[in-house]
Amino acid sequence: MRKILMFALMCLFIPAASAADDGGAVTMGQTIRRALESYPEVQGKLHAFGASRHDLEGSYSGYRPKLDVYAGVGRYNLDGDGYRYTLNNMYNHDYDGFSAVATQPVYDGNLTNSSVKRYKYAKNMRYFDLLSTMEQVSYTAFRSHQDVVRYRELTALAKENLARHEEVLEKVRKRTQAGVDSSVNYDTAYGRVALAKVNLITEESNLHDAETQYMRIVGVAPSAELEDHMIEIALPALPQESRKAALAGNYQLISYAENAESMRHVVGEQASRMRPKVDVRAGTYLNHDEDGTEGRKDKAFIELVLHWNLYNGGLDKENIKKAVEQYKESEELYNKLERDVVQSVLIAYNDIKNIEAQMPNLEAHMKAADVTRAAYTKQFEAGRRSLFDLLDSENEYFQAKMSYANAQSQTFLMIGTRISRI
């Protein structure tokens, strides 16, 4: 299990971290490790993989001999013309017997061979399904971690924005009391403070949702300090390269392919039931006072047995047709997933490119809005700018910082989406 956990972390380009809490900020690696070790779906898929291993081991039993032992004691009550030669004292008598029979399959119509292949591919399917689930849970934990970091930052920005508006309101209040400003300006500033409070409530609500999601995935409440993890990955020059990488390394896609192969051998399993079976049987019977005959009746034997069901009401043929349809269904599910993976990767690739192109402009807008805000504050105090100009500059700066922070976080999440799809 430890190797699989480490493998999932490496798949996300996140260095492994010790699960021990050293009192510092919780790293992204620790968040993902905790999620993988505790999330019920991962544990369920791990047990399903374990069950598939037992299925495979059990399928080999068709190659091995079987031994049946019977022992019994009882009492006979005999009657009828068929027992007219029975001794008088044997019509009602006790008996005992013992038998042991060993059966070694020689030919079973290729049933066992098909079963072994079926369960081999089924085990592989469960293995890659486990890796796929771990990958998805890792990405969800990554996103939950990053969402908490992001909404904490946005909440801090909203608090800063509220404090700035309250500062402006206090200045306007003093100017109004001094007769420099009108009460209308005070009411306007007061309304903007109310709007800033609404923005803060909204961000606090978003933060609560993000922390709840984190708790659901990771199993514990987020720490007071979470590491703001940065992922750096060079995108391929062409989207077709991302498409190729996604199709070659997607665990869910591999799982579906293994399932299709498993279903193909189910067809072989059903076909083998229409073929003859040949067994070698050897055994011994040790009976005493059986069927009205006094004394011991012992028998040892070895035989070659042919069994062939020539007609089963058409059930075997219908089972073959059913297995063929299920095999075709598994192939179509693979084809659908292939299209979904390609779509997701190409969309993520395009989104990353678009956000990367926007980032310099968003940063420039944020810096320009900060300069404008500082200038408008001085000009307002000098009486060269109106209150509306100052409040609008404050709001524009707040929105610019929010947009930049959101875009920066979205870049990381899109990169995580692309990695998880590959």
DSSP string for 128-159: HHHHHHHHHHHHHHHHHHHHHHHHHHHHHHHH
**pTM of the predicted model as reported, rounded to 2 decimal places:** 0.81
> Over the range 197-227, which residues count as b (16 or more CB within 10 Å of their CB) and which as e?
eebbeebeebbeebbebbeebbeeebbeebb
On whether residue 336 sits in a domain, the answer given is yes
Q: Please list the alpha-helical segments (H only) found in 98-232.
A: 111-177, 183-218
* Mean pLDDT calculated for residue range 256-279: 96
Confidence category of residue 7, pLDDT binned at 50, 70, 90? very low
On whether residue 134 sits in a domain, the answer given is yes
On whether residue 224 sits in a domain, the answer given is yes
**pLDDT tens-place string over residues 186-203:** 899 999 999 999 999 999
Mean pLDDT (the chain, rounded):
86
Query: How far is it, in rounded angstroms, from Cα 118 to Cα 260?
Result: 10
Q: Pick from 391, 390, 410: which is nearest to 402 by CA?
A: 410
On whether residue 120 sits in a domain, the answer given is yes
Domain that holds residue 136: 2-38+110-274+313-421
On whether residue 293 sits in a domain, the answer given is no
What confidence score (pLDDT) does residue 11 get? 45
Range ranked top by mean pLDDT from 130-139, 223-232, 256-265, 357-366 = 256-265
Classify residue 226 by its DSSP letter: B
On whether residue 48 sits in a domain, the answer given is no
Q: How many CA atoms lie within 13 A of 225 on its CB side?
A: 7
* Mean pLDDT calculated for residue range 56-78: 91
State the helix-helix crossing angle for 40-59 and 111-177, rounded to 10 degrees. Answer: 170
* Number of domains into which the chain is organized: 1
Query: Residue 303: pLDDT above 50?
Result: yes
Query: How far is it, in rounded angstroms, from Cα 260 to Cα 333?
Result: 9
Confidence category of residue 85, pLDDT binned at 50, 70, 90? low
Q: Pick from 250, 409, 213: which is nearest to 339 by CA?
A: 250
CATH number at residue 367: 1.20.1600.10
Query: Residue 329: pLDDT above 70?
Result: yes
Q: Is the dihedral of CA 349, 350, 355, 360 positive or negative?
A: positive
What confidence score (pLDDT) does residue 81 get? 64
On whether residue 212 sits in a domain, the answer given is yes
State both tokens at 92: 């009602």
What confidence score (pLDDT) does residue 114 get? 96
What confidence score (pLDDT) does residue 244 get? 79
* Mean pLDDT calculated for residue range 125-148: 93
On whether residue 51 sits in a domain, the answer given is no
Query: Residue 419: pLDDT above 90?
Result: no
Query: Residue 62: pLDDT above 90?
Result: yes
What confidence score (pLDDT) does residue 236 get? 66
